[in-house]
């Protein structure tokens, strides 16, 4: 094979040709592997700093540990008497089953998110492999997956990464005309996060208007997937029924808190409205030009809806995902028109594809949806959080000093500790709740939802007065938490009888732990 033939085969691959399968598959896998390796490297670099252990992780993981230990979702750290019923239990169940094999670990929980993100990327890449812009789409997808929101999602023990993988699987299924299986998967995954219903709704309407449902009734696989989803919801309903009073209380609280947090964010106006209108415009263009990318816009609408649930970084990733899908759809529409105008002109269509990706990349770079190469990683910033430099977030020495202090302040054989930030409680995976019990109460009788006046930023804090309050400052905590931290210091001082904080440990001039014992006879700091 001479150079001209090799180049010709390469061009056919780049424009999505059907011959030379081995070459296409090899280049495709090389591109996927490159992005995957970069994602793993960034995840390892992020460690415990992007994000630092988060309060939400404490809620989910302590419940998962409860399932690991006692096959129930009651976590003594949150409430020793009843479960917290703010969200379905799909995610704590998944992690609890994993912990039964691996043992309880924040690092393992975060690794699950990384694996899920990588799986989602692989499934999305497979879906795009059969498109006319197979190669160039990998460039744009990879750039998005290395932005701050995706990095943070892949390094955080929350449900978004698993939901991302499920959504990408559903997109691939829809593209392969497996609509019932996709809808069953999305419906069942709502037990992991109810936001899956927001994704399922536009996909369902797309399938109806495209005439995909009534012509293709679910096969055996579809029935199995739907059956598993129904069973999952039945199990969740049974658990709710057995804890009905707690469910009523928690749901009412959650709705009031979410409504207050989202005042103004669910509006369809402003730039968010422009974004949604743009997605619908791309859909209309796809229908008009008869380019089969309407399913991409349906998923883009679903991702956009998911992003509007709350103004938080965990939801921003789906906003990015919406615009990624919309951009891929638009690029394919334009490239098809170029190919119709210049049939057989491989270099022209390839040039158009690369030019469109470059324009899209520049636009998303300027709007902050993808990261620039200059200073990447160390200058990565997500909501005030950065990658660690020369100072570690937590060391074995830190753990030893804090454990010694907490065990030395026991009252009646038990130390109760409110440790802030709450996510740091997960850095003590071997902790025995019968000896040292962390308190992470969610509900505060003094809390007023309309003011969002909670002291730390993860949720209201009150509960019973602990044996000791321990508060930590760190260079890796977002600076927007400083004001809330000051209020928390004041509150801890008041509830410890007006005591001044005691520094029980410090390191590197930036990592400092303060204690406010509430018992009369408190031991000296180590």
Q: What is the pLDDT of residue 458?
A: 39
pLDDT at 455: 42
Encoding tokens for residue 510?
Answer: 């930036």
Higher pLDDT: 23 or 27? It is 27
CB environment 43-61: b (16+ within 10 A), e (fewer): bebbbbbbbbbbbbbbbbb
Q: How far apart are CA 348 and CA 355, in angstroms?
A: 10
Per-residue pLDDT, averaged over 189-218, amounts to: 88
pLDDT for residue 461:
47
Map 199-215 to HEC letters: HHHHHHHHHHHCCCCCC
Whether the pLDDT of residue 459 is over 80: the answer is no
Q: 3-7, 197-201, 251-255, 408-412 — which is least confidently predicted?
A: 3-7
CA distance 301 to 346: 33
pLDDT in tens, 369-404: 999 988 898 888 888 888 988 899 999 999 999 999
Between 481 and 526, whose confidence is greater? Answer: 481
The 3-state DSSP class for residue 514 equals strand
Which range among 235-239, 272-276, 299-303 shows the weakest confidence by mean pLDDT?
A: 272-276
**pLDDT in the model for residue 433:** 86
Q: In the chain, pLDDT over 70 holds for what percent of residues?
A: 87
Provide the mean pLDDT of the chain: 86
Per-residue pLDDT tens for 417-450? 999 888 999 999 988 888 999 988 776 555 555 5
Q: Which residues of 183-206 are buried (b: 16+ CB within 10 A; e: fewer)?
A: bbbbbbbbbbbebbbbbbebbbeb
Cα distance between residue 302 and residue 310, in whole Å = 14
pLDDT tier, 264 (very low <50, low <70, confident <90, very high otherwise): very low
Q: How many angstroms separate the most distant Cα atoms in the chain? A: 87
Is residue 148 scored above 90 in pLDDT? yes
Q: Which of 183-192, 227-236, 461-470 has the lowest mean pLDDT?
A: 461-470
Q: Report residue 456's pLDDT band, with 50, 70 and 90 as the boundaries.
A: very low
pLDDT value at residue 190: 94
Q: Which of the four pLDDT bands, split at 50, 70 and 90, describes residue 265?
A: very low
- Which of the two residues, 2 and 146, has the higher pLDDT score? 146
Whether residue 451 has pLDDT greater than 60: no
Most confident of 181-195, 213-227, 400-414: 181-195
Q: Residue 520: its pLDDT value, please?
A: 67
Tens of pLDDT, residues 78-125: 888 888 888 899 999 999 999 999 999 999 999 999 999 999 999 999
Note the pLDDT tens digit of each residue in 328-340. Answer: 999 999 988 988 8
| pLDDT-wise least confident of 38-42, 380-384, 505-509 | 380-384
- What's the pLDDT at 443? 66
Average pLDDT for residues 355-363, to the nearest whole number?
93
CA distance 110 to 478: 20
Please give the pLDDT value at position 14. 53
219 exposure class (CB count in 10 Å sphere: 0-12, 13-18, 19+): exposed
Look at residues 184, 186, 190 and name the one whose alpha carbon lies nearest to residue 223.
184
Phi-psi region of 368 (alpha: psi -120 to 50; beta: other; left: phi over 0): left
What pLDDT does residue 39 have? 92
In sequence order, the β-bridge partners of residue 97 are none
């Amino acid at each position: 094979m001479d150079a001209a033939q090799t180049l010709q085969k390469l061009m056919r691959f780049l424009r999505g040709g059907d011959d030379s399968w081995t070459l296409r598959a090899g280049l495709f896998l090389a591109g996927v592997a490159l992005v995957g390796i970069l994602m793993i490297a960034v995840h390892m670099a992020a460690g415990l700093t992007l994000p630092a252990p988060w309060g939400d992780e404490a809620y989910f993981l302590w419940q998962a540990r409860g399932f690991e230990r006692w096959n129930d979702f009651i976590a003594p750290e949150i409430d020793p008497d009843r479960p917290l019923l703010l969200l379905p239990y799909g995610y704590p169940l998944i992690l609890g089953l994993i912990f039964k094999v691996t043992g309880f670990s924040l690092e393992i929980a975060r690794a699950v998110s990384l694996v899920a993100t990588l799986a989602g990327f692989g499934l999305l890449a497979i879906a795009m492999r059969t498109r006319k812009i197979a190669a160039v789409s990998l460039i744009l997808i990879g750039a998005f997956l290395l932005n701050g929101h995706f990095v943070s999602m892949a390094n955080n023990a929350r449900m978004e990464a698993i939901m991302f993988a499920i959504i990408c699987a559903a997109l691939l299924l829809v593209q392969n005309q497996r609509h019932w299986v996709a809808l069953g998967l999305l419906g069942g995954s709502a037990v992991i996060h109810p936001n899956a219903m927001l994704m399922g709704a536009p996909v369902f309407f797309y399938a109806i208007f495209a005439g995909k449902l009534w012509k293709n009734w679910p096969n055996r696989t579809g029935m199995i997937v739907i059956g598993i989803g129904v069973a999952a919801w039945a199990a969740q309903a049974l658990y709710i029924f057995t804890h009905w009073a707690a469910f009523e209380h928690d749901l009412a609280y959650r709705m009031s808190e979410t409504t207050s947090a989202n005042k103004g964010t669910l509006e369809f106006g402003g730039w968010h409205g422009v974004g949604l209108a743009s997605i619908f415009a791309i859909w209309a263009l796809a229908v008009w030009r008869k380019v089969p990318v309407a399913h991409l816009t349906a998923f883009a609408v679903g991702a956009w809806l998911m992003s509007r649930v709350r103004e938080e970084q965990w939801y921003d990733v789906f906003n990015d995902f919406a615009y990624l899908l919309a951009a891929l759809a638009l690029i394919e529409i334009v490239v098809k028109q170029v190919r119709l105008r210049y049939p057989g002109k491989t270099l022209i269509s390839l040039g158009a594809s690369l030019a469109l990706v470059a324009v899209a990349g520049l636009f998303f770079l300027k709007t902050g949806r993808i990261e620039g190469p200059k200073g990447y990683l160390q200058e990565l910033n997500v909501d005030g959080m950065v990658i660690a430099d020369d100072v570690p977030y937590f060391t074995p020495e830190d753990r030893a000093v804090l454990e010694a202090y907490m065990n030395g302040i026991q009252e009646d054989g038990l130390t109760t500790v409110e440790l802030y930030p709450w996510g740091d409680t997960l850095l003590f995976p071997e902790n025995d709740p019968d000896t040292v019990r962390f308190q992470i109460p969610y509900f505060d009788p003094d809390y007023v939802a309309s003011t969002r006046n909670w002291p730390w930023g993860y949720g209201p804090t009150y509960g019973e007065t602990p044996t000791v309050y321990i508060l930590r400052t760190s260079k890796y905590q977002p600076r927007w938490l400083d004001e809330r931290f000051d209020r928390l210091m004041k509150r801890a001082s008041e509830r410890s009888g007006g005591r001044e904080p005691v520094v029980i440990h410090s390191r590197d001039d930036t990592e400092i732990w303060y204690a406010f014992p509430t018992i009369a006879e408190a031991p000296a700091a180590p």
